[in-house]
Amino acid sequence: ISPSAVSVAPSHNFVYVTDAVDNDVVAYSADGSSGSLTEISPRTPAGTSPAAVINDPSGAFLFVANQASNDISAYTIASGGKLTEIAGSPFRVGAAPSALAVSPSGKFLYVSNTNSSSISAFTITSGTGVLVPVPGSPFLLGFGPFGLAIDPTEKFLYVALPQANGFTALTIDPTSGALSPITTVPFAAGTDP
């Protein structure tokens, strides 16, 4: 396979790898003592050029950013690690989604849209995993965002901005998940962070 991204389920029993050539997600069961992996068949179709993958903190849902089809595939994870697509999936985002971040509480999903210089934000519906756009989403940044990280308190989203040779920080509204920039000027981070 031609892996693009890897995510380990919080239970550590399953590993998910995106295959950007075959446009699917490959699931593996992991042996807790040896670390060896066994592929779970069949593979699960994703969108075009899946580039990022992430689990929610509970291990109930898996989200995949499909870079060429500009959408997010969403799945429930069964007890055996098999993936089932969530109703309404795939969910539209901006151009060239490249990174994903789920809040530690599992309430919000953020997607960096590199070619549309924006962040798409969703509420993750408890129990179903259905993605509901946060009011005001997508949030424009002015630079092509790439990597994302949420601080453990869920107050801030940090975004790498390779085109600006820096990064930015945004506050996260704890109720709605809406984003607000802390500053309009990126923090310096060296070349192409």
User: What is the token pair recorded at 8?
Assistant: 């380990």
Question: One digit per residue, pLDDT tens: the chain, 193 residues?
Answer: 444 677 777 766 899 999 999 999 999 998 878 889 999 989 999 999 999 999 999 999 999 999 999 999 999 999 889 999 999 999 999 999 999 999 999 999 999 999 999 999 999 999 999 999 999 999 998 788 888 999 999 999 999 887 877 788 999 999 999 999 997 766 667 776 6
**DSSP per position, the chain:** --EEEEEE-TTSSEEEEEETTTTEEEEEEE-TTT--EEEEEEEEE-SSSEEEEEE-TTSSEEEEEETTTTEEEEEEE-TTS-EEEPTT-SEE-SSSEEEEEE-TTS-EEEEEEGGGTEEEEEEE-TTT--EEEPTTPSEE-SS----EEE-TTSSEEEEEEGGGTEEEEEEE-TTT--EEES-SSPEE--S--
**The predicted structure's pLDDT at residue 3:** 47
| pLDDT tens readout for residues 142-182 | 788 888 999 999 999 999 887 877 788 999 999 999 999 99
